[in-house]
Amino acid sequence: MTKQIDGYHGTLLKVDLSSGKVRKQAIHPDDLKNYIGGRGLGVKLLWDHLKNKPGTDPLGPDNPLMFMAGPFSGFPAPSSSRTCVVTKSPLTSPEKSAYPHASTVSYANMGGFFGPEMRFAGYDGIVVTGQAKSPVYLYINNDTVEIRSAGKFWGMGTDRFDKAFTEELGDPRFRTCYIGQAGENGVKYACIINTAARAAGRGGTGCVMGSKNLKAIAVKGTGQPKVANHKLFLEALEEAREKFKDPKVYGRWRTAGTAAGIEYLSGQGIQAVKNFREGTFVDADKIGAKASMKHWVKSLACYCCPLACKKSGKTTDSPFAGLIHDGPEYETGTMLGANLMISDLKGILKAIYISDDYGLDMISLGNVIGFLMEAYDKKLIDKDFLDGIDLKWGSVEATIEMIHRIAAREGVGYLASMGVKALADEIGQGSHQFAMHVKGHELAAHNCHANPPRALCYATAHRGACHLNGTTIEQQNMIALADSIGVCLFALGGYGHDFAMVIKLLSAIIGSAAVGNPMETGERIYNLEKMFNYQEGFTRVDDVIPERFFQEPLTVGEKKGAVLTREQFKTMMDEFYTKRGWDLDTSKPGNAKLKTLGLVA
Amino acid sequence: MNSNQETDAWSRRKFMKAVVSSSALAVMGQFGIFRLAMASQADKTGLTMIVVDYAKCTGCRTCETACSAANHKQTVNGETLNGLGNPETANIRVYPYNPDVDVPNVCAMCPDNPCIEACPVDPDPKTGFKALFRHPETRAVTNDPNRCITCGSCADACRTGTIIPNDDTGLPEHMCTLCNGDPQCVKHCPFGALTHVSVDLDRDFYAMKPDQIAGKLIQKWYGKSH
């Protein structure tokens, strides 16, 4: 084995819930060089687990669920909290495949404190395989690792569990992540929650965790890896911290968080409104940041983050009054607000709270409910189909009732728990036109009619529709790199979008030899994800966006009349595959490109 | 702010005198009989401390990393440098709560020194210091590891729960050093939530445990039901 790389423990914690065996495993230094950590290393490990095993059941024991920290994690670099949960998606599927359980890679990135603490405990990642016979949680205190019974916690919502779990652990400095009832019950878009509101939200990570009977992970640690160049690290750290003292860098995050986007993007005509039928919500001002601020108590930051975009608070004087753990954020406020034509902010905040408590990904959830509202409005389904719920546009009561049914997977909630693609398959009658997903993964809260680069971003994202995929090849590679380092994308405004400062810090931590060519690393990660999907049977026919964007021009707002053309989309995609070095017909990654990246011999 | 010039250390005898001579011992509120003693000594001793504005604190823990880096230096290639900011060794520690409240916990610099009072080690005949003592220059509660018997009495006596004995050595840890008058937590807090001020017993939340502070803030910010 080549020399161990600084900045890492070089250690994975491997937990097999079927046998109850726990062990440490060394990470090959070449894997760290080639994939850095976080999303990249997670995808490499997924590939190692499932290469030549296409169609592995994502909810079976062989699908690994991995919690991956990057090399920034556990060092005080600004906004270095991000932790990537990597697994095979239980939600996505190709048009056609030879394999029954074909699905994409899934990676969901969460902030908070979990990743840094995992590194303090001595691990660059946790890999969970197998399935426990009864509900368990994983207890990690440095070298002490135990699989403990979680029987008494099963069935608990995340908010109550967060408190009960801390009490059980007896030390609030344990960092935890967990699932709610949605993950326990097998909702395909269940997420993993930490600190009662932060989420590894997308792609059904919580569903996989639930399939393993794993309620939670608690971690606490005392150590830290050493860095390659201590002095350079301290210099680069001070330089980075200076950059974040500029109000232009942190101002908008602290003031309004991502909720600022609710009004702004609505004004631009690119918000998800009425199940993506429109791009502008006339009541955006009623649910946006300005309206929300009245209810906020304080801003909350992730580990060493000077931005503090998360907001907590409470609402009063409403049937929906209650606690606000987070929000609205842009995505949650839009998907459970504008996309459902709901303008009752307190109702939206209640729906957000309930969704977090169940551990539901609100992006997929808002799509599912929006889709059902549209199908109901168009009389493709009736009230009986909806178990008597009068699911009209704009109804908070009906929305909340649907959320309860989905989390419990009862009645209509069972079908709705499978996502919009499954719903459209069942309902038929042309409803696929407005089933807003790519590869079975629902669209985030950004509309495409007037935003062609976003169409490419959604169509080519490897976990299915994802707004964080990047709209150009360069951006996609850079984001794959950032997700692997563990730095928050929101912080690039401080570090600089040219990545120079990020690379300087990374070089100080892991050494410039290990950093190598960072953009090529990003490209390597992106291509390996593509290889995974291609093996499962995903081809160019799966890289499409919903028909709505080509057929139904916007009727209101700044971008009234905007619609995508097929020619425009095809040209964009042709250029993408060509530049990527992938086959134009099948999207198969070309051998020449894979060779350059060291992905084939 | 620098308090190094003030070197009038506070002795046990003076403390007892203050307590005994007081006629209003029973009605002194939060700290009972210690209240008067503390109040009468705070100004005289010129003690300073780190105070937290909880409304501004976002729980990011940058303070922990800055404290740890400055107070746990490392020798690298013969050069003494700041550490890498491992929060485990920080003297300021942020406790998170649900609903969302973050409480950075740091030495309250109690003028009546309950931790030092509790130290059962006899004063050194030369220096007059017990194993735990207020450093004459830095004014920080300081441990002499060579004389400490690791009994944990100081941690038990600590009002704020700041002092925690090391798991391995049993030595008391996490006493604020004030970084030679230039506290690094204050300097690096991105949110301006920390300030270096004179000890004032009347300040809200003074010398309270994190759980108590969190309880009050949760009630104030989120209502009674949580």
**In degrees rounded to 5, what are phi and psi of residue B209?**
-75, 150
Cβ contacts of A303 on chain B, cutoff 8 Å: 60-61
Contact A323 B99 (CB under 8 A): yes
Residue B98 and residue A196 in contact, taking contact as beta carbons nearer than 8 Å: yes
Q: Is the pLDDT of residue B184 over 90?
A: yes
A279 exposed, middle or buried (CB, 10 Å; 0-12, 13-18, 19+)?
buried
Residue with tokens 């060089």: A33
The mean pLDDT of A579-593, rounded to a whole number, is 97
CA distance B210 to A101: 50
CA distance A158 to A358: 6
In DSSP terms, which residues pair with B94 in a beta bridge? B104
Task: List the end-to-end C-alpha distance of chain B, in Å, as a whole number.
Answer: 39
Cβ-nearest to B62 among A76, A221, A316 = A76
CA-wise closest residue to A477 among A496, A462, A465: A462
Contact B58 A308 (CB under 8 A): yes
Cβ contacts of B95 on chain A, cutoff 8 Å: 172-173
Q: What percent of chain A has pLDDT over 90?
A: 99
Reduce the DSSP state of residue A417 to 3 states and report it. coil
CA-wise closest residue to A369 among A331, A396, A344: A396
So what's the architecture of A11-220 in CATH? Answer: 4-Layer Sandwich (3.60)
Contact A231 B222 (CB under 8 A): no
Chain B CA closest to residue A220:
B88
Instruction: Identify the pLDDT of residue B27.
Output: 41
CA distance A359 to B161: 34
Element (H, E) at A137: strand A136-141
The Cα of A7 is separated from the nearest Cα of chain B by a number of Å equal to 11
Residue A351 and residue A394 in contact, taking contact as beta carbons nearer than 8 Å: no
pLDDT tens column, A444-487 = 999 999 999 999 999 999 999 999 999 999 999 999 999 999 99
Cα atoms in the Cβ-side hemisphere of radius 13 Å centred on A456: 19
Identify the sign of the CA torsion B98, B101, B106, B112. Answer: negative
Mutate to test the interface with A, among B52, B84, B97, B187 (most CBs of A within 10 A): B84
Q: What percent of chain A has pLDDT over 70?
A: 100
Residue A175 and residue A219 in contact, taking contact as beta carbons nearer than 8 Å: yes
The mean pLDDT of A105-109, rounded to a whole number, is 98
* Separation in Å, CA A10 to CA A13, A107, A145, A531: 10, 21, 18, 25
Mutate to test the interface with A, among B80, B82, B100, B168 (most CBs of A within 10 A): B100
The mean pLDDT of B183-211, rounded to a whole number, is 97
The mean pLDDT of A178-197, rounded to a whole number, is 97
In this complex, is the C-beta atom of A176 within 8 Å of any C-beta atom belonging to chain B?
Answer: no
CA-wise closest residue to A473 among A556, A575, A593: A575
In this complex, is the C-beta atom of A321 within 8 Å of any C-beta atom belonging to chain B?
Answer: no
Instruction: Identify the pLDDT of residue A2.
Output: 59
CA distance B203 to A550: 64
Chain B CA closest to residue A238:
B188
The mean pLDDT of A81-109, rounded to a whole number, is 97
Cβ-nearest to A305 among B60, B76, B86 = B60
Element (H, E) at A535: helix A518-536
Instruction: Identify the pLDDT of residue A548.
Output: 97
Contact A297 B222 (CB under 8 A): yes
Contact A312 B100 (CB under 8 A): yes
CA distance A125 to A41: 9
CA distance A327 to A262: 11
In this complex, is the C-beta atom of A26 within 8 Å of any C-beta atom belonging to chain B?
Answer: no
Contact B226 A323 (CB under 8 A): yes
In chain B, where the domains are located: 12-222
Q: Which residues contact A247 (CB under 8 A, 6 or more apart)?
A: none
Instruction: Identify the pLDDT of residue B36.
Output: 55
CATH class of residue range A251-442: mainly alpha
Cβ-nearest to A75 among B74, B81, B84 = B84
The Cα of B166 is separated from the nearest Cα of chain A by a number of Å equal to 11
In this complex, is the C-beta atom of A11 within 8 Å of any C-beta atom belonging to chain B?
Answer: no
DSSP string of A8-46, one letter each residue: S--EEEEEETTTTEEEEEEPPHHHHHHH-SHHHHHHHHH
CA distance A155 to A165: 13
Lowest mean pLDDT among A556-560, B5-9, B96-100, B105-109: B5-9
Residue with tokens 């368990």: A136
Task: List the end-to-end C-alpha distance of chain A, in Å, as a whole number.
Answer: 19
Q: Is the pLDDT of residue A1 over 80?
A: no
Cis peptide before A328 (omega within 30 of 0): yes
Measured CB to CB, residues of chain B less than 8 Å from chain A are 55, 58-62, 65-66, 69, 74, 76, 79, 81-82, 84-88, 93, 95-100, 102, 188, 190-191, 221-223, 226
In chain A, where the domains are located: 11-220, 251-442, 452-596
The Cα of B102 is separated from the nearest Cα of chain A by a number of Å equal to 9
* Mean of pLDDT over chain A: 97
Tokens of A185: 């019950």
Contact B190 A325 (CB under 8 A): no
**pLDDT category of residue B38 using cuts at 50, 70 and 90:** low
Mutate to test the interface with A, among B53, B62, B71, B101 (most CBs of A within 10 A): B62
Q: Is the pLDDT of residue A298 over 70?
A: yes
Q: Which residues contact A482 (CB under 8 A, 6 or more apart)?
A: A488, A489, A492, A502
Q: Tell me: domain A452-596, CATH 1.10.599.10, correct?
A: yes
DSSP for residue A196: T
DSSP string of A334-349, one letter each residue: HHTTGGGT---HHHHH
CA distance A358 to A193: 9
Instruction: Identify the pLDDT of residue B18.
Output: 40
Q: Is the pLDDT of residue A47 over 80?
A: yes
Q: Is the pLDDT of residue B104 over 90?
A: yes
Q: How many residues does chain A have?
A: 601
Tokens of A207: 């569903």
pTM, rounded to two decimals: 0.94
Cα atoms in the Cβ-side hemisphere of radius 13 Å centred on B143: 26
Q: Is the pLDDT of residue B31 over 80?
A: no
Instruction: Identify the pLDDT of residue A3.
Output: 76
User: What ipTM describes this predicted complex?
Assistant: 0.97
In this complex, is the C-beta atom of A189 within 8 Å of any C-beta atom belonging to chain B?
Answer: no
Contact B87 A120 (CB under 8 A): yes
DSSP for residue A85: E
Mutate to test the interface with B, among A171, A323, A325 (most CBs of B within 10 A): A323
What is Dmax (Cα atoms) for chain A? 68
Contact B85 A325 (CB under 8 A): no
* Separation in Å, CA A33 to CA A1, A446, B169: 13, 35, 38
**pLDDT category of residue B224 using cuts at 50, 70 and 90:** confident
pLDDT tens column, A67-81 = 999 999 999 999 999
Tokens of A202: 């997308």
Instruction: Identify the pLDDT of residue A10.
Output: 98
What is Dmax (Cα atoms) for chain B? 60
Residue B134 and residue B10 in contact, taking contact as beta carbons nearer than 8 Å: yes
CA distance A2 to A4: 7
**pLDDT category of residue B34 using cuts at 50, 70 and 90:** low
Cβ-nearest to B55 among A196, A227, A298 = A298
Reduce the DSSP state of residue A263 to 3 states and report it. helix
The Cα of A35 is separated from the nearest Cα of chain B by a number of Å equal to 24
- Per-window interface: A 541-560 vs B, CB < 8 A: none
**pLDDT category of residue B46 using cuts at 50, 70 and 90:** confident
* Mean of pLDDT over chain B: 86
Contact B222 A323 (CB under 8 A): yes
Number of inter-chain CB pairs under 8 A, A vs B: 100
Instruction: Identify the pLDDT of residue B35.
Output: 56
Mutate to test the interface with B, among A73, A167, A175, A299 (most CBs of B within 10 A): A299
DSSP string of chain B, one letter each residue: ---TT---PPPHHHHHHHHHH-S-GGG-GGGTTHHHHHHHHHHHHT-EEEEE-TTT-----HHHHHHHHHHS-EEETTEEE-----GGG-SSEEEEETTTEEEEE-----TT-HHHHH--SPPPTTT---SEEE-TTT--EEE-TTT-----HHHHH-SSS--EE-TTT--EE----GGGG--HHHHH-TT--EEEEE--TTSTTTT--HHHHHHHHHHHHH-TT-
Q: Is the pLDDT of residue B21 over 50?
A: no
The mean pLDDT of B50-58, rounded to a whole number, is 98
Instruction: Identify the pLDDT of residue B23.
Output: 38
CA-wise closest residue to A109 among A199, A44, A181, A170: A199
Tokens of A71: 């090399």
Residue B94 and residue B73 in contact, taking contact as beta carbons nearer than 8 Å: no
